[in-house]
Amino acid sequence: MQQFDTLIVGQGIAGSLVAYQLHKQHRTFRVLDQGHGSSASRVAAGMFTPVSGKRKTIHKAFFDRLKMAVETYREIELLLGKRILHIENVYQLFEDEAEKKLLAGKMLLPEYKDVFVKEVPAPDGINKGLGGIIIKYSGWVDCPLFIASFRQWLHNSELLIAELLDYSSLQTNSAFFQYNGLQFQNIVFCEGFRAVGNPFFNEPMIPCKGDIISIAAGGNNTSGIIKKNAFYMLPAMDGMSKVGATFKWHNSDEALYETDRDQLEQAATAMLDGAGCKTIHHQSAIRATTPGQQVIAKQHPTIKNMFMLNGLGTKGILVGPCYAAQLVQTIPEANPSGNPF
């Protein structure tokens, strides 16, 4: 019977990052994932920016997380031979006079001095409106390309088990886990919203449906990210710009609805300078969120060597590398002789 260090269940952002950290440590592992086409990781825009929320705050750990995220994704780019990380400024359009005043006040604070560029005119093709401000240290990861390319690397390296986990076939005892003729010293669940059916962890999970659209680029010829209110528009690639995202809490319906598409088209129109937009592609997925949006990165309270990384939330692309690296440090390593048991 083949024996391995770790089984990772799920190959979204969390599972891919855990797998990469194990790969860096030259540990044996397999990733079990069916390849659900509309998983949140495959649909996500992967944007990150230091300023967030209605109060436009900067998380105290942002720059440490950013440093590690950039290093990790650059390493993954070398592994995959693909460009997935894009460092771009955000042009934040003022929603109203109140937001304009709030951001003007933030610019005077020392911690914002190197983050904001003073109020500047909107780029060509973008709604001039009340103007806006540039936010540095921002960017995005091409999540669909990241997940698809990493999956191909796993497949080529014979590290992928392309199927959905059958919990009833997972055998546990005090020494190891056994699944379909394979033995593992450790198991890490990175199942996203599908963790609601996990029989081992009873973590509170709130489904949050999100929609994005890809539109014909039209007048959006800028190289940066455009934001207005809670919506964003990524730079045009292959003649299309991505616009997102909606948030529907306590909603696990993955169906596409015209009303959601219309909401995003209206948001895109509000960002563009007099140009309408045409939706080329519409996608939806269910995010795995938790009360208080706390990341689940933990060991099972009673089952030895069982772990979970989930609930990365809207900042998953930024916080994921840190949480994955920290979790892997807690996972016992197999015996160097090659026999983990």
pLDDT reported for residue 220: 54
Q: For the purposes of burial, counting CB atoms within 10 Å of the CB of 11, is it exposed (0-12), middle (13-18) or buried (19 or more)?
A: buried
pLDDT reported for residue 341: 41
The DSSP result for 29-61, as a single string, is EEEE----TT-HHHH---EE-SEETTTTEE-TT
- The verdict on residue 304 lying in a domain is yes
- The verdict on residue 107 lying in a domain is no
- The verdict on residue 110 lying in a domain is no
pLDDT reported for residue 122: 77
pLDDT reported for residue 221: 56
Q: What is the mean pLDDT for each group of 10 consecutive residues in the chain (341 residues)?
A: 93 96 96 80 85 86 96 98 95 91 89 84 81 93 94 97 94 87 95 91 89 79 81 85 91 92 92 80 90 90 94 89 97 63 41
Contact in structure between 159 and 19 (CB atoms under 8 Å)? yes
- The verdict on residue 8 lying in a domain is yes
Condensed to tens digits (0 to 9), the pLDDT of residues 302-331 reads 998 999 999 988 888 999 999 999 999 999
pLDDT reported for residue 219: 54
Show the domain range for 179. 2-87+138-205+290-330
- The verdict on residue 53 lying in a domain is yes
Backbone angles phi, psi at 211, to 5 degrees: -115, 145
Beta strands at 182-189 and 248-249: parallel, antiparallel or unpaired? unpaired
- The verdict on residue 54 lying in a domain is yes
The enclosing domain of 19 has a CATH number of 3.50.50.60
Q: For the purposes of burial, counting CB atoms within 10 Å of the CB of 26, is it exposed (0-12), middle (13-18) or buried (19 or more)?
A: exposed
- The verdict on residue 212 lying in a domain is no
pLDDT reported for residue 340: 42
- Count structural domains, the chain: 1
CA distances from 297 to 105, 328, 332 (A): 36, 10, 15
- The verdict on residue 120 lying in a domain is no
